[in-house]
């Protein structure tokens, strides 16, 4: 049987253990209050000094500050309350602004929002739907924003850093950065034609960026952002820009005359599936426009009612063509006023015809 002293020691032990257990429980339950009391930042915190910006950051900031005043937001009204938005950039000190044709297509009213917040009406100067380019002009007295500096798309290389500036989803003055992902892409446009030499980039381009500039690290225009490749119509890492060399050829012509000569020969063509069903690779002539260069050269159209296929153009100056877009690009290469050597398939026989390229715009 335990002695009195042993019982007393046990009682002290359990009393001591109970006190410590109660103390630990109190500490655990009160811990969150202690943290709040001693460590809660319930007053404005001091700002930690940062070191200098990285050189790449400084360059991007300087580029945006230099180029963004030349970029405008474009707002259109097509009737009633309907309309759209896009981007554009100042081309010259006369106030001409370049954008995409699809941005202003069908618009009854067009206005731009300048870098300083001013809203100004513009008038349409001219458009070239087959290159998806258009020019509008500021109807604004006084000084205009500075024109953007021009680069050359012929100098570009895959992997080069580029910046897109525009107004995606109506969010003004947005800068995105990426690289040139590919060159010499072909972009379908109006009338079954294509723009050649198109720049592909992974810089974020979304609806509203259309018509804005794609610039290099020197802040020079190298392309006009025009399209994205995405099922949902939003950024998916693949965007396209009309090359600056094409812009520099088309825009001055639009400013001078309001239009750009369209190389052609004066034919209507059959859908590609017609020649595909016939097992023929080429551009089948549906009809020849009277008085055209094609008519003077003796090209023959089709008579589908009798099941007769007309001439099928298979090559231009030795370059194979399979679609209307191929043919249009080759005729553009030949140039208006020059003669193109067409290889054609006529009633199963191959022959060659020379046709003068004319303006069919």
Torsion sign, CA atoms 310, 311, 314, 315? negative
pLDDT at 232: 58
Annotated catalytic residue within 132, 202, 245, 311: 132
Q: Which CATH number fits domain 153-257: 3.40.50.2000, 2.40.160.10, 2.40.10.10, 1.10.3720.10?
A: 2.40.10.10
Does the active-site annotation cover 292? no
pLDDT tens for residues 42-70? 788 888 998 898 999 999 999 999 999 99
Task: Give the residue, 128 or 187, on which the prediction is more confident.
Answer: 128
Ranges of CATH 2.30.42.10 domains, the chain: 263-359
In this structure, what are the phi and psi dihedrals at residue 101, rounded to the nearest 5 degrees? -60, -40
Report the CATH architecture of 58-138: Beta Barrel (2.40)
0.85 exceeded by pTM? no
Stretch 10-28: mean pLDDT, rounded? 71
What mean pLDDT value characterizes the chain? 86
Ranges of CATH 2.40.10.10 domains, the chain: 58-138, 153-257
Annotated catalytic residue within 96, 102, 144, 292: 102
Question: Which of 7-21, 198-212, 294-308 comes out lowest in average pLDDT?
Answer: 7-21
pLDDT tens for residues 297-350? 998 888 877 778 888 999 999 899 988 888 888 998 899 999 999 999 888 889
pLDDT at 162: 96
Rg of the chain (C-alpha set): 34
pLDDT at 253: 94
pLDDT at 31: 64
Tokens of 354: 């020379």
Q: What CA–CA distances, in Å, run from 116 to 24, 73, 120, 145, 173?
A: 64, 11, 11, 9, 11
| Euclidean distance between CA atoms 336 and 325, whole angstroms | 17
Does the active-site annotation cover 132? yes
pLDDT tens for residues 96-128? 999 999 999 988 889 999 988 888 889 999 999
Contact yes or no for 88/136 (Cβ under 8 A): yes
Does the active-site annotation cover 102? yes
Report the CATH architecture of 263-359: Roll (2.30)
Stretch 253-272: mean pLDDT, rounded? 88
In terms of average pLDDT, the best of 11-20, 31-40, 162-171, 197-206 is 197-206
In this structure, what are the phi and psi dihedrals at residue 53, rounded to the nearest 5 degrees? -65, 155
pLDDT at 64: 94
Annotated catalytic residue within 68, 87, 210, 292: 210
pLDDT tens for residues 76-98? 988 766 678 899 999 999 999 99
């Amino acid at each position: 049987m335990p002695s009195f002293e042993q019982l007393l020691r046990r009682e002290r032990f359990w009393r001591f253990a109970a006190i410590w257990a109660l103390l630990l429980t109190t500490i655990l339950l009160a811990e969150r209050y202690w943290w709040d009391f001693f460590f809660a930042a319930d007053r404005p915190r001091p700002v930690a000094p940062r070191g200098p910006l990285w050189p790449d950051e400084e360059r991007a900031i300087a580029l945006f500050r230099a180029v963004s005043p030349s970029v405008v937001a474009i707002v259109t009204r097509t009737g009633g309350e309907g309309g759209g938005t896009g981007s554009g950039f100042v081309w010259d000190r006369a106030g001409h602004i370049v954008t995409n044709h699809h941005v202003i297509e069908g618009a009854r009213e067009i206005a731009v929002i300048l870098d300083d917040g001013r809203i100004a009406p513009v008038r349409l100067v001219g458009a070239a739907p087959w290159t998806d380019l258009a020019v509008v002009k500021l109807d604004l007295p006084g000084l205009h924003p500075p024109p953007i500096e021009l680069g050359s798309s012929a100098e570009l290389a895959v992997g080069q850093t580029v910046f897109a500036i525009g107004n995606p989803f109506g969010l003004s003055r947005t800068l995105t950065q990426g690289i040139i992902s590919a060159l010499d892409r072909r972009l379908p446009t109006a009338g079954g034609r294509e723009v050649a030499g198109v720049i592909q980039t992974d810089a974020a381009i979304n609806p509203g960026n259309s018509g804005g500039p794609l610039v290099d690290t020197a802040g020079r225009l190298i392309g006009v952002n025009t399209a994205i490749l995405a099922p949902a119509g939003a950024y998916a890492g693949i965007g396209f820009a009309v090359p600056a060399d094409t812009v520099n050829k088309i825009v001055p012509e639009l400013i001078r005359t309001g239009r750009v000569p369209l190389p052609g020969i004066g034919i209507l063509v059959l859908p590609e599936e017609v020649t595909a069903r016939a097992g023929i690779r080429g551009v089948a002539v549906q009809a020849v426009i009277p008085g055209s260069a094609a008519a003077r050269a003796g090209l023959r159209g089709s008579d589908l009612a009798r099941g007769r296929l007309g001439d099928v153009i298979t090559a231009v100056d030795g370059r194979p063509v399979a679609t209307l877009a191929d043919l249009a690009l080759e005729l553009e290469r030949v140039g208006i006023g020059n003669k193109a050597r067409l290889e054609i398939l006529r009633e199963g026989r191959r022959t060659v015809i020379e046709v003068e390229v004319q303006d069919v715009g």
